[in-house]
Each structure stands twice: as structure tokens, then as C-alpha cells.
Amino acid sequence: MLSFCESLHIRYNQPMLRLMCITAHPDDEAGGFGGTLLTYRDRGVETCVICLTPGQAASNRGTARNDPELAELRRREFAASCEILKVSQPIILNYPDGQLYRQELNRIVYDLTMRVREFRPQVMITFGAEGGVTAHPDHSMAGIFATLAFHWAGRANRYADQLKDGPGPHRAQKLYYGTADFALPNRPPITFPPQTAIIDISDYLEIKIAAFKAHKTQSPLWPLFEQNARRRGKSELYHLAASVNAGELHAETDLFAGVDPNE
Ligand SMILES: [Zn+2]
């Protein structure tokens, strides 16, 4: 028979795996990372998506008459998509769409560092500095901000004011950039980070496409998206950009390979 304290100890010290995904626009979570988010949620991993902008500068605007109306529509679409992707913590921030490269770097990295310290992911996924298959500059910036937050969240001398009453420093164990082995047709070539991890999403491809289609204002993009998602097929590709177990690179099929669930 366990004492009350012992049972509490067990309940609150269950090792829990957590995956954080940092994106720029509503629909990136489905288009870039949807299969991976579903794969890990179904394995019991807690997932958090932080989308930096509400996508108010999109060319496809649905019924919106102005930017705030489009932002509102897209916030709801993001929530619907994250429900389909079973995201545990969907978070959409209010930075300006199309303008991330003009924002003060420190302000966004501060914000993201705080969120890493709160959610305490072992693994983080985001875009590389090339900006993914669309090479959108917001994607590039999301990846750069996320990379700094990944590294700085673990350092007690970075944003020490957050540590006074808040959670302690958190050193996430692995950082991955989503990558691809082809660019979109009729666009300038993109230089991708090499793939080091291949995640099999074959069971989730149709749900990933359904999640993308929760973004109804973006319906003119659905055919292009679906065509590319099917071309990518049963896998999502990643590049291991940082790891607490640095050493020789090995091809991986699991983003949580070698991760300590107690950290
Ligand atoms: Zn995007």
C-alpha cells in the first residue's frame, strides 16, 4: 500500500514526452508538420504548436473585409486544424504576418524562451532558415527565433528575470528542422538542410490533408497542397540541427530516439 505522498509522487513524476512545434502561419502546422504531430500524439506524446502570426496578410482572404477579420477567421481555422491534429496545446500569437523579419529579434525570442521553459519539451521542430518548401521569409524567421529559444531556454543567464517566479531553465534535448527533397514547381531553387530523420506518416496522410482543409480561407491553395502532400507521400523529413547527444550523425526514424523522458 502506497502512502498518500508516494502515490502523489508517482502521479506527478510520470515521465511525459513533450513535442513543441514553432510555425509562422495558420496552416503551417498541417502543411509542414501535420503527420508528425499526429504520429506522436497517438503515441501519447503531449504536443504544443506555437504559431507566431494569425496570418492576416494572406492573399487568400475568404469573406474577410480587412486584416482583423481575416485574423479572426484564421484563428478559428487554426483551432479546428489543431483539433483534427489532436494538438494538446495550440497557441496562436499576434505578431504581424509578412513582417517577422522586421520585428525586434529579442522580443520574440524572449516570448518563445518563456514558452519553452513553461512547456518543457524534450524535442522541438520548426523550419530551417531556408523557409521550407515555400521559402517564405516568415518561415525562415520562425526557425531562427525558435533556434535561439531552444538554446537560450536552458541557460540561466539568458532572460534571468523569467526565472525569478517562473519555471526554471529548460534544456530541450533535440532540435529539428522540417526539410524536403523537392521544391514547388515554377519557383526558384531552394537549398534544403539534408534529411537525417524520416518519419513514417502513412497512417496519417489523409487526416493531415483534412487538417489543411480546415483552413477554409485558404481553399484556393488546397489543390496545390494536396498534390504536394501526396507527392511527399508517406513520410515527413527532418534535419537534426542540435542534440544534447552530439556526435556522429545517424539516420533516424524517430524524433524521440535517445531522449530521456525524465528531463
Ligand atoms: Zn506559412
* Pair type for strands 123-127 and 89-92: unpaired
CA–centroid distance, 41 to ligand 1, in Å, is: 22
Of 15, 27, 24, 43, nearest to 211 (Cα)? 27
Amino acid letter for position 27: D
The 3-state DSSP composition of the chain as helix, strand, coil percent (nearest 5) reads: 40, 15, 45
Q: What pLDDT, on a 0 to 100 scale, did the predictor assign at position 6?
A: 47
234 CB neighbour count, 10 Å cutoff: 14
CA–centroid distance, 25 to ligand 1, in Å, is: 4
CA–centroid distance, 139 to ligand 1, in Å, is: 6
DSSP bridge partners of 128: none
CA–centroid distance, 7 to ligand 1, in Å, is: 45
CA–centroid distance, 26 to ligand 1, in Å, is: 7
CA–centroid distance, 60 to ligand 1, in Å, is: 13
What are phi and psi for residue 108, nearest 5 degrees?
Answer: -75, -40
Q: What pLDDT, on a 0 to 100 scale, did the predictor assign at position 1?
A: 47
Q: What pLDDT, on a 0 to 100 scale, did the predictor assign at position 5?
A: 47
CA–centroid distance, 23 to ligand 1, in Å, is: 7
**Dist CA 70 CA 62 (whole Å):** 8
CA–centroid distance, 253 to ligand 1, in Å, is: 25
The DSSP result for 222-246, as a single string, is HHHHHHHHHHHTTEEEEEEEEESS-
- Half-sphere CA count of 92, side-chain side, radius 13 A: 23
CA–centroid distance, 74 to ligand 1, in Å, is: 12
Of 244, 115, 237, nearest to 175 (Cα)? 244
CA–centroid distance, 70 to ligand 1, in Å, is: 15
CA–centroid distance, 5 to ligand 1, in Å, is: 47
- For 178, counting Cβ atoms within 10 Å of its Cβ (0-12 exposed, 13-18 middle, 19+ buried), the class is buried
CA–centroid distance, 4 to ligand 1, in Å, is: 48
Contacting residues for 173 by C-beta, under 8 A, at least 6 apart: 122, 123, 243, 244, 245, 258, 259, 260, 263
CA–centroid distance, 165 to ligand 1, in Å, is: 34
CA–centroid distance, 128 to ligand 1, in Å, is: 13
Contact 190, 133 (CB under 8 A): yes
Per-residue pLDDT 10s for the chain (263 aa) are 444 444 444 444 567 999 999 999 999 999 999 999 999 999 999 999 999 999 999 999 999 999 999 999 999 999 999 999 999 999 999 999 999 999 999 999 999 999 999 999 999 999 999 999 999 999 999 999 999 999 999 999 999 999 998 899 999 999 999 999 888 778 889 999 999 999 999 999 999 999 999 999 999 999 999 998 998 889 999 999 999 998 899 999 999 999 999 98
